[in-house]
Amino acid sequence: MNKLKFATLLLLFSTPALADHGDLPGPGQPLIIDVRTTSEYQQEHVRQSVNIPYDEIANRIAAFAPDRDARIVLYCRSGRRSSVAEQTLRQLGYRQIENLGGLNDMQRNGYRTN
């Protein structure tokens, strides 16, 4: 029983709080993931996006998208890191991934930033 409590606490404290990283998408909306560093995300990011740096996405995606059929939109600064993240997610079995490139591309596509 103590192992179960410890595992539960570990999961709770190792999973980022949504308040710090955006909100989960509403019905029919994709999960928008900013794969830049935390400091880049804090400077400016797309509203409703969550921050999962591209080099951490394999370990953290299940906390935000346990369903491998979830719609996911990725962006970074220029599109390179989001391409790496896209490949990682596809290798993990995620199917509905859209790489929209960089933050400026997101803004041109009508996404608002904070």
Active site residues: 76
| DSSP classification of residue 15 | S
Query: 74-107: b or e for each residue (b if 16 or more CB lie within 10 Å)?
Result: bbbbebebbbbbbebbeeeebeebebbbbbebbe
